[in-house]
Amino acid sequence: MSKYVCTECGSDDIEVRMWVGANDNHIDEWVDDENYRECWCKQCHDITHWELKES
Ligand SMILES: [Zn+2]
């Protein structure tokens, strides 16, 4: 198993941005983009970056 965690505090309680259809609210499956690693960390209460942690 691997999961996405905050690079600042290591928490997995993070949210990521997703693309949503502007007209139909369609949500595609989230794709982890190595070039766009911003996330919202609920522990840091701040915008941080995610990393994929193998466990
Ligand atoms: Zn954090």
Query: What is the whole-number distance in angstroms between the Cα of residue 24 and the centre of ligand 1?
Result: 32
* pLDDT, position 13: 97
The domain in which residue 33 lies consists of 2-54
**Structural domains of the chain, count:** 1
Q: The pTM is what?
A: 0.79
Ion ligand 1: residues, Cβ under 5 Å: 6, 8-9, 11, 41, 43-44
Cα separation of 45 and 31, whole Å?
23
Query: What is the whole-number distance in angstroms between the Cα of residue 47 and the centre of ligand 1?
Result: 8
> Is residue 38 within 8 Å of 17, Cβ to Cβ?
yes
The candidate with the shortest Cα–Cα distance to 38, out of 22, 25, 49, is: 49
Query: What is the whole-number distance in angstroms between the Cα of residue 48 and the centre of ligand 1?
Result: 7
CA geometry: angle 32, 34, 36, nearest 5 deg: 85
As a whole number of Å, the CA-based R_g of the chain is: 12
The candidate with the shortest Cα–Cα distance to 5, out of 43, 53, 48, is: 53
Write the pLDDT tens digit of every residue in 13-55.
999 988 899 999 998 888 888 888 999 999 999 999 999 999 7
